[in-house]
């Protein structure tokens, strides 16, 4: 008898056309994305959209940049 195993899906963060690998799978998606803030400043005010599932089982989190505010 084989025991079932639970596999954790890989996470990828999509920032425009760029896909960033998950730096630490043990962190929440928001905390993992925050690790990229020193290298990608546009991530600091960004939010994560609902993840999309790929056929290979990868979770892709689209990174939504904050709206540009104009005065007037």
Q: What is the pLDDT of residues 13-60, one digit of tens each?
A: 999 899 999 999 899 999 999 999 999 988 888 899 999 999 998 999
Name the pLDDT band for 72 (thresholds 50, 70, 90).
Answer: low
**Neighbouring C-beta atoms of residue 24, cutoff 10 Å:** 10
> Apex CA 67: angle with CA 53 and CA 50, to 5°?
15
What are the structure tokens assigned to 5, written together?
A: 């195993």
What average pLDDT does the segment 64-71 reach? 80
pTM (whole model) above 0.85: no
pLDDT (0 to 100) of residue 69: 77
Distance separating alpha carbons of residues 49 and 68, to the nearest angstrom: 18
């Amino acid at each position: 008898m084989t025991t079932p195993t639970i596999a954790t899906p890989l996470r990828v963060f999509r920032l425009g056309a760029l896909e960033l690998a998950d730096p630490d799978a043990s962190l929440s998606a928001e905390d993992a994305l925050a690790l990229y803030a020193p290298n990608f400043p546009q991530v600091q005010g960004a939010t994560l959209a609902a993840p999309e599932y790929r056929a290979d089982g990868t979770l892709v989190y689209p990174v939504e940049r904050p709206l540009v505010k104009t005065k007037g």
